[in-house]
Homo-oligomer: A and B are copies of this chain.
Amino acid sequence: MTTTDEPIDHASVQNQMTQGDSPELAQLYRDFEAENLIPLWTQIDDLMPMHPQPKAVPHVWRWSTLYPLAQRSGDLVPVGRGGERRAIALANPGLPGRAYVSPTLWAAIQYLGPKETAPEHRHSQNAFRFVVEGEGVWTVVNGDPVRMSRGDFLLTPGWNFHGHHNETDQPMAWIDGLDIPFSYANDVGFFEFGSERVTDYATPNFSRGERLWCHPGLRPLSGLQNTVSSPIGAYRWEHTDRALTEQLLLEDEGQPATVEQGHAAVRYVNPTTGGDVMPTIRAEFHRLRAGTATPTRREVGSSVFQVFEGHGSVVLDGTEHKLDKGDLFVIPSWVPWSLQAEEQFDLFRFSDAPIMERLHFDRVHVDGGDR
C-alpha cells in the first residue's frame, strides 16, 4: 500500500485555528494545563503525520572506529556485577541522550578481554549476538555453553540466564541486539542477577540446543511443545553460507530461489513454528552478487544492518554511504533505502518487524511495484 504526497497538511489549517488566540482561549489552555490536559488540535500535526516521520535518522557507524574504542574500554573498564557487560551502544543522533539505535532496538559492540567472564543474569528483554570476527568466547544460556565464532548468530531470548567467558588470550568483540528501547518505553522489563561466574565453563563445539534441534526437517519427540522463542542457541555460519550459496546456484540454473535477481537471503527462524526467532526481533542474512542493486524500499519499522564481508554501499534517504566489513547502519521507519554490491556483498540484518506484523502496522513500499 502506498500513500501519495498530500498537498494539504495539518499544520496550515491548524495554525489558522491556533494563531492569535483570544484571551479566553489562552485562559482555557492554562486551565487545561492545570488539570493535566492537552488539546489534540494543537498537536495533531506532529502526533499524527501523513506518514511516519521518525525522529531517529539514518546513520552509519564504522567498525574501524568502533573496535578501537571497544579496545580502549577493555583497558579502562572492568566487566562484572553491576555494569554487567562491556557493551557500547550505537546512539541514534536523532534520539539524543539515549543509547537507542532506533525507537525499538538497541545495538552495541560488546568486548570481552582474555580470560574474562561477564556474569550471569536474565531479563525479559530479548537479546542476540552476531559475530563479525573473532572466536574464543562461549556464552552460557540457561546452563548450555554455546561457542561463538565468526558468522554465527546466537540467541538469548527473554528470561534465559546467560553469561559469557573468554577462554583465550585474545580479546573478542561482537555485536549485541536487544529490544531494550521498546521494553523501556513500554515498561515491560524485569531483571534478575544470576551467578557471578558462568555456571558451566565447558567449551564444546556444539551446544545441547544445536545437537537436539539443528537437523533439517526433524524435531525431537521430546520437544513437541512449541516455544515462544527458538530453542536453537547458535545458528552457524556454515549453514547460512551454504543456504545462500545454493540460492545463487539455483538462480544460475533458472530456478526461483532468490528474493530478486542477484539477491539471496535467509531468515533465521524458530523451528517449532517456522516463525521469527523471538517475539520482537527478526534476523536475516542477505547476500548480493557483485553488481547487484536492490530496488528502493520503504518499510514501517526500523532495522539495522552490519556488513559481514565484501564492499558496497547503501543509499539511505538519497545519500550514498560506502560500506566496509563490520560497518553498521540503521534504517528508521519509512526511510527509503537500497543496497549496491561492488563485489559479493554479505550483510546481517535485524529489525523490529515481528512487532509491526503482530500488531498489523506493517507496510512496505517498493519502487516500481507495491505489495
Selected interface stretch from A131-139, A205-213, A312-320, A337-345? A205-213
> Do B228 and A360 touch (CB < 8 A)?
yes
Min Cβ gap A361→B in Å is 4
Instruction: Tell whether A187 pairs with B83 under 8 Å between CB atoms, given A208-B255, A220-B257.
Output: no
Instruction: Tell whether A48 pairs with B332 under 8 Å between CB atoms, given A35-B69, A43-B99.
Output: no
* A324 proximal to B (CB < 8 A): no
Q: Mark A75-106, 1 if CB is under 8 A from B, else 0.
A: 01110111111111111110000110001100
> Do B247 and A220 touch (CB < 8 A)?
yes
Q: Please, how many angstroms separate the alpha-carbon atoms of A221 and B87 in the complex?
A: 31
Report B-chain residues with C-beta under 8 Å of the C-beta of A31.
69, 72
* A50 proximal to B (CB < 8 A): yes
Which of B16, B86, B88 is within 8 Å of A32, CB to CB?
A: B88
* A279 proximal to B (CB < 8 A): yes
> Do B274 and A41 touch (CB < 8 A)?
no
Instruction: Tell whether A6 pairs with B192 under 8 Å between CB atoms, given A17-B78, A212-B247, A359-B280.
Output: yes
> Do B69 and A187 touch (CB < 8 A)?
no
Instruction: Give the nearest-CB partner of A158 in chain B.
Output: B360
- Give A206-265 interface residues, CB cut-off 8 Å to B: 208, 211-222, 224, 226, 228, 230, 232, 235, 239-240, 242-243, 246-247, 249-250, 255-259, 265
Q: Please, how many angstroms separate the alpha-carbon atoms of A203 and B271 in the complex?
A: 30
Instruction: Give the nearest-CB partner of A79 in chain B.
Output: B41
> Do B243 and A220 touch (CB < 8 A)?
yes
> Do A267 and B218 touch (CB < 8 A)?
yes
Which of B92, B208, B216 is within 8 Å of A36, CB to CB?
A: B92
- Give A256-315 interface residues, CB cut-off 8 Å to B: 256-259, 265-274, 277, 279-280, 284, 300-302
Instruction: Give the nearest-CB partner of A232 in chain B.
Output: B217
Q: Please, how many angstroms separate the alpha-carbon atoms of A184 and B43 in the complex?
A: 12
Given A35-B65, A218-B239, A220-B247, output 14 extra A-B contacts at Cβ < 8 Å: A3-B190, A8-B81, A14-B83, A17-B78, A41-B77, A44-B84, A185-B185, A186-B361, A188-B301, A211-B250, A216-B271, A219-B266, A219-B269, A221-B284
